[in-house]
Amino acid sequence: QKEVEQDPGPLSVPEGAIVSLNCTYSNSAFQYFMWYRQYSRKGPELLMYTYSSGNKEDGRFTAQVDKSSKYISLFIRDSQPSDSATYLCAMRSSASKIIFGSGTRLSIRP
């Protein structure tokens, strides 16, 4: 079993819809939870990160962590065609390497 599981998609939604992206994990030592966005033929870029449980909002993006369920989510409100990309969850414990999910390919239809 992988440490981090993520549905690869692809996920296609109409412009303006709310998007929900999710990951589950097995290592209870993970404390830092991140979402990276990767456009086609580019390297991943950090979008948001949270420490431990809770929510964090940044504009149209909300990251949510539920450590009791070992489940993290990224919500995108009012989705735009420019949000079309692959979204990778990532996580680590206090001093360990970053472990990435396999990524969910998202397409926003105009």
Contact residues toward another protein (CB under 8 A) are: 6, 8, 32, 34, 41-46, 49, 88, 94-95, 97-103
Residue nearer to another protein on the CB measure, 7 or 17? 7
Residue nearer to another protein on the CB measure, 51 or 71? 51
Q: Find the shortest distance in angstroms from Cβ 67 to another protein.
A: 17
SS3 1: coil
Q: Find the shortest distance in angstroms from Cβ 93 to another protein.
A: 10
State yes or no: cis peptide before 44, omega within 30 of 0. Answer: no
Q: Find the shortest distance in angstroms from Cβ 66 to another protein.
A: 19
Q: Find the shortest distance in angstroms from Cβ 64 to another protein.
A: 17
SS3 83: helix
Token look-up 């079993």 returns 1
Name residue 89's beta-bridge partners.
35
Residue nearer to another protein on the CB measure, 5 or 14? 5
| CA nearest to 6, candidates 33, 26, 24, 27 | 24
Distance CA 110, CA 108 (A): 6
Residue nearer to another protein on the CB measure, 19 or 91? 91
